[in-house]
Amino acid sequence: MGSAEAIERRARARPDRGGEVASRDMSIVHAQDRGPVRHVLINRPEKRNALNDELVLALRAAFEAAAGDRDVACVVVRGAGPMFSSGMDFSALGGLAADPARLRDFRRPILEAWNLLEEMAKPTICQIHGACIGGAMELALACDLRVMAADALIGMPETRIGLIPDVGGSSRLPSIVGLGRAKELVMTGRMIDGAEAHRIGLINRVAAADELEAATDALVAELLACAPVAVGHAKRVLDAAAKPALAATLEHEVTVQELCARTEDFAEGTRAFAERRQPEFSGR
């Protein structure tokens, strides 16, 4: 049976519920079923979908609900408004600069939410438009597959303010693009567009902005044409093979980040960001 026929057959077996599926906060995270596909929408467009505590907890609740729903065969994460997400809310980073001892408490719920995307036994897809920055790219890396608009931008610029990607970005990126390219992207904090992201293997599909939805639907259809139990098991085996030391490297991330968060460079980086100027790093 062709992929288009497969998605249609499964949709008929489980009609759209319509409306939205309950999540922790329906004002900032919307979840809607399209047949067997759960779409989770980040809905804070007035703040460029910046990730704050409330949004992270709402996303975690939505991911937990999707993981536990036997009728959901695939999860697509999207963003409302002009971009997928601008990353962590700057006010949260400012608070971290003022009190670096909060780092582990600040990081834990984010990492737990992102890990759910990788750990659930069903495929997860991140659909990226506009921009996907910092912690948002780390969310995308935790998904199994990524579909991106050609004119969108993606990157993790943490080193430009004195930090490292520490909610899975430093740990997951090498297994996706290779060590050399991962080092270049992390150590320079460079942003790249969808065309380059596709060329280096960071994303799976690239499309014109007005064709992004169709490209995502096509990938979903291919997944739904396969046996869901087999897909779920394949996901676990492949992840284990590609990232056998993930737990250790995630811990290494936070250990290093604790050092970075206490440096004069990070304090200078956050000041410069707030003042919209180039930072003057001292190496201390």
Q: When comparing pLDDT for 22 and 51, which is higher?
A: 51
* SS3 assignment, position 110: helix
Q: Which residues contact 23 (CB under 8 A, 6 or more apart)?
A: 29, 30, 31, 40, 58, 61, 62, 65
CA 119, 249, 128, 63 torsion-angle sign:
positive
Q: Are 57 and 201 spatial neighbours (Cβ–Cβ below 8 Å)?
A: no
User: Which pLDDT does position 96 carry in this prediction?
Assistant: 73
CATH number assigned to the domain comprising residue 51: 3.90.226.10
Residue 215 domain flag: no
C-alpha–C-alpha distance, residues 19 and 32, integer Å: 6
Residue 97 domain flag: yes
> What is the domain extent for residue 148?
3-209+228-275
Q: How large is the average pLDDT for residues 242-246?
A: 96
**Active site members:** 138, 158
Q: What is the pTM assigned to this prediction?
A: 0.90
Q: How large is the average pLDDT for residues 48-70?
A: 97
Model confidence band, residue 26 (pLDDT cutoffs 50, 70, 90): low
Retrieve residue 251's tokens. 């811990």
Give the pLDDT confidence of 82-98 residue by residue, as tens digits.
999 999 987 777 677 77
Share above pLDDT 70 across residues of the chain, in percent, rounded to a whole number:
90
> Tokens 């270049």 — which residue?
184
Domain count along the chain: 1
Q: What is the mean pLDDT of the chain?
A: 90
DSSP 8-state symbol, 146: E
pLDDT at residue 175 tops 80: yes
Residue 257 domain flag: yes
